[in-house]
Each structure stands twice: as structure tokens, then as C-alpha cells.
Amino acid sequence: MELRQLAYFRAIVEAGSISAAARTLHLSQPPLSYQMKTLEEELGTPLFVRGARRITLTPAGEVLYKRAEGVLHLADLAAAEAVRAGQEKTLRLGLAPSTVAGMAGVLRKLQQADPGLVLQIEDGSSFALRELLAGHALDAAILRAPIPLPGLASTVLFRESLCAMGRQGGAALSLEELAACPLILSRRYQSLVEEAFQRAGLFLHIACTCGDSRTALTLAGAGIGTALLPAQMAKGTGLFCREVLDADLETDVLLAYDGTDPSPALSLLLSLLVGNEKEASR
């Protein structure tokens, strides 16, 4: 059964006869009669009783007419939504969880610069987003370095320090003071932290490692230990964020994209990010 057959069937019922429907549809009568005969054969039951002037629906025809109305209405809605979606400007953007707070202001500016733009946000680890980007499922992604990006263009947006996050506040910590704390490490930054402690000749007290930075935040909030995470991630968590002195605990935030033919939406984002980078450097 095809949508076209249902539309023809509805037109015949509403016109009252096949000949009248043919005039309405700007068709000749024989093809329309053939379509109805084919539909009846497929269903295995007659749909009309053909009178001299008007057709009369059989019980099967009455049921089909009621259902055809709903099916055709849904088809019209689907077509309208598809057209509307094709006319919308979209930007498919990946955001690593630790970059969301730092990017929120830029995305607000992007929305203000182009109110008609629809953002399709995909969140996930930097490595998962890189794979989506490589598979052309994203237009761009905001990622945390270090991460290899073969075949992709990238630009450093800003550099951010890791800070000590926990339920206890206070002044900045030295690396030696941090060595006395049970630490919660996201595996994303584990090697960076381990190298800093090794260079300082200090013992690293690891209480827990986890794959997602958001998990590390939750565990720190539960008092399991002190999480070492990018400072932006402390916003809105209720946790204290203490600077770590005398240690090179910094990570770059990157914009990665296919640089061959950026869309207008991606070009606008790039221009805003460059402007934002200049502002941050002043």
C-alpha cells in the first residue's frame, strides 16, 4: 500500500465517485480505477460498492478511510518538518564536559550573532568526540589536549590550570602540601599529575582514579578526596577551588574541525573564538 493510493482513495470518497475524483486530481479515469483495483486486490477485500452516480463504502472501506486520514496527516506533518529542518541553519558541536563552562559565554555570543542558528550539542570524552568528528557526525568539537588529531585542523583556544577541588577551602597549595592529600584523578590528567610529582620528587597519594571528570567532581563532593581538575569545572558545584603553586599543571583547550570547507555557522564560531582569545589575552 502506497501513500499515493491512500490519497487517491480519500479523494474518491470525498468526491463521491471515481470520475469526479479524477477531475479534481487532474487525472484520467482509467489510471485511477486501476489504482483502486490494485489496492483492493492487495487488501483482499472490496472497498466500494459502485453505484450509477455515487460510490458507497463497504465496512472495510469505512475503516480504511478513517485510518487513511490519520496516515496522510502524519505524512504531511513529516514532510513539513523535513522542509523546515532543511531550511534551518545548524551547527553540530561536540563539547568535552570540562569545556562546557568555559564555552558557555562564547555560545551565548554565537546565538546573539545569529538567532536563527540551531546548536546540536554532543557531549562526551575528547577521544569519543574526535571519532565523531572524523566520521563527519560533527562540524567541530572543543577538546582537551593532549590528543592526536590526524587529518583535522585545530587551534588552541586557551590554556587552563588544574586546581585542587574539595569541600575544604583555604589558600593556594604547594605541590608538597598537595602530596599529603588523598587525590581523585581523572585518567585524562593522570599522566600530567604523575609527571609533576615525579619532577618534584614527591609521593603521589591516589585515593581514586576515574574515566570521567564529572565523576571525580561527585566523589570530591562526597569527601572521598581532592580532585585535580580544570578550574572552570568548579563553577556551580559548591566545591572550593584552590590554586596549586610551583607545578606545571596546565592543559590546552582546542577547537578541532575539518578545515577543508567550513560552513558559515562554523566560520562565525571561529571568528567569535578568535575574538574571545584576543580578549582573554589582554
Give the closest residue to 107 by CA, choosing from 277, 269, 281, 270. 269
Residues 30 and 54 in one domain: yes
Residues 82 and 194 in one domain: no
What is the radius of gyration, based on Cα positions, of the chain? 31
Q: Considering Cα of 32, then 33, then 35, then 36, what sign does the dihedral take? A: positive
Estimate the share of the chain in helix, then strand, then coil, as percent rounded to the nearest 5: 50, 25, 30
Query: Rounded to whole angstroms, how far apart are CA atoms 259 and 24?
Result: 53
Query: Rounded to whole angstroms, how far apart are CA atoms 64 and 190?
Result: 64
> What tens-digit pLDDT sequence spans the chain (282 residues)?
788 888 888 888 888 888 888 888 888 888 888 888 898 888 898 888 887 678 888 899 888 888 888 888 888 888 776 765 555 578 889 998 878 877 888 899 998 998 888 888 998 888 889 999 988 888 899 998 878 898 888 888 888 889 999 998 888 999 999 999 999 998 888 888 999 999 999 999 999 999 888 899 999 999 999 999 988 888 888 899 999 988 888 888 899 998 777 788 888 888 888 755 444 433
Residues 78 and 10 in one domain: yes
Give the closest residue to 215 by CA, choosing from 201, 205, 229. 229
pLDDT at 281: 39
pLDDT at 203: 93
Give the closest residue to 143 by CA, choosing from 230, 208, 242. 230
pLDDT at 100: 84
Q: Give DSSP secondary structure letters for 17-81.
A: SHHHHHHHHT--HHHHHHHHHHHHHHHTS--EEE-SS-EEE-HHHHHHHHHHHHHHHHHHHHHHH
Angle at 163 between CA 207 and CA 245, to 5 degrees: 105
Question: From the CB of residue 196, how many other CB atoms can be counted at a distance below 10 Å?
Answer: 20
Residues 276 and 240 in one domain: no
Residues 148 and 269 in one domain: yes
CATH of the domain at 277: 3.40.190.10
Q: Residue 212 belongs to what domain range?
A: 161-247
